[in-house]
Amino acid sequence: MEPVIRVENLVKRYASRELGRRAAAFTAVDSVSFSILPGSTLALVGESGSGKSSVALCLACLEPVTSGQIWFDGRDVAALSERESRAVRPKLQIVFQDPATSLNPRWTVGEIVAEPLLVKGRVANRERRERAAQGLERVGLGAEYLERRPAELSGGQRQRVAIARALILEPKLLILDEVLSALDCSIQGQIANLLVELQRALGLAYLFITHDLRMAAHLADEIAVMSRGKIVEQGAVETILRGARCAETQNLLGASLVDRETEAVRER
Ligand code: ADP
Ligand code: MG
C-alpha cells in the first residue's frame, strides 16, 4: 500500500532569536523521516521543545522547509510555491492544542466550520450551512450549535468544532498537534474515541502529536519518539512500550506513569 505521506530527511532551522548577533541558525528538526499508511496513525512523541510542532507546521505548509522532502498526493510539498501549496492544503489539515485561540471568537460555530468552503469559493450559502450542520453532526454536535459562539462552548466542544472544521474539505491526513493536552482527563477519552470513530468511518490517516506516551500508545499503530530534533526510536506500539531502548523513551514512559499515579492519588 502507498503511504499517504512520506517524509524524507526533513530539516527545519530557525534563525536565532538573539538580537545583535550574527544569526546562528537553530536546528529544530534534524533529518526526520517517516511515512503514514492510509487509515493508520503515527504518533510523534517527545518532550516539549523536541521539534514536534515544527514538523507539523512544515507538513501543513505553514513554515518553509530548510531541506528534505515531503511526498504527499504525488508531489513534494516542501518544494511547492505558496500558490501551488494552496491546491494541496485542503487534503492535509491541522488541528492545534488550544481551540480557544484557533477559533475566531466573533464568528458563529456554523461560520467557523464552513469557512474552508468559503476560501475554496463557489459554494452557495445554503449548501455551506447544510455542510456545516452535517460536519457538526459527525463530531457529535447537533445543528443547534450552528448559531453558538466559541465562548459559549466547553473545551471539549470547542475541540469538536475544530475537528469538524478540519474535516469539511475531506482531507486524507489530519495532523493533530497536542489536541487532547488542554482537556480534562474524562474529556480526553471522549475526544480520543471520536478520533478513532472518525478514522474508521472516513479512512483518515493521522499524525498524532503528543508528549504523553500513554495516550500515543492508546491511539497509534506506530510510535516515533523525538528528542532534540531527531527521531531516536520508531516502531510498532507494543515494540516501543516493551523495548523502550532509549533513555528518552524511558523518561516519557516514566512521565506518563507519574501522571497516572497523581491522577490515582487525586481520585482517592
Ligand atoms: P515541540 O512542539 O516538540 O514542543 P517545537 O517544534 O515547538 O517543539 O520547538 C522546537 C524548538 O524550536 C524549540 O527549542 C523552540 O524554542 C524552537 N522554535 C520553535 N519555533 C521557533 C521559531 N519560530 N523561531 C525560533 N525558534 C523556534
Ligand atoms: Mg508543540
| Residue boundaries of the structural domains of the chain | 5-101+173-267
* Superfamily of structural domain 5-101+173-267: P-loop containing nucleotide triphosphate hydrolases (3.40.50.300)
Q: How far apart are CA 202 and CA 24, in angstroms?
A: 44
Quick one: pLDDT at residue 18? Answer: 65
Which of 11, 26, 27 best tests ligand 1's pocket when mutated (most atoms within 8 Å of CB)? Answer: 26
Quick one: pLDDT at residue 89? Answer: 87
Residue 147, C-alpha cell as written in the block? 448559531
What is the DSSP-derived secondary structure letter of residue 77?
G
Question: How do beta strands 230-236 and 222-227 pair?
Answer: antiparallel
For residue 223, CA distances in Å to 168, 208, 214, 233 come to 27, 9, 11, 8
Q: How far apart are CA 31 and CA 226, in angstroms?
A: 11
Q: What does the pLDDT look like over 84-137, one tens digit per residue?
A: 888 888 999 999 998 777 899 999 999 999 999 987 777 888 999 999 999 999
Q: Which ligand has the minimum distance to the alpha carbon of residue 46?
A: 1
- Residues facing 236 on adjacent strands: 222
Q: Which atom of ligand 1 is nearest to the CA of 12?
A: 12
Which of 10, 13, 14 best tests ligand 1's pocket when mutated (most atoms within 8 Å of CB)? Answer: 14
Phi-psi region of 255 (alpha: psi -120 to 50; beta: other; left: phi over 0): alpha
Quick one: pLDDT at residue 122? Answer: 76
Question: How do beta strands 173-177 and 205-210 pair?
Answer: parallel
Q: Could you identify the residue written with the cell 497509534?
A: 220
Quick one: pLDDT at residue 252? Answer: 77
Quick one: pLDDT at residue 21? Answer: 62
28 in contact with ligand 1, CB cutoff 6 A: yes
Q: What is the mean pLDDT of each run of 10 residues along the chain (268 residues)?
A: 96 80 83 98 96 97 96 94 88 90 91 89 87 97 95 95 96 97 93 97 97 93 96 93 74 67 52
Quick one: pLDDT at residue 24? Answer: 73
116 in contact with ligand 1, CB cutoff 6 A: no
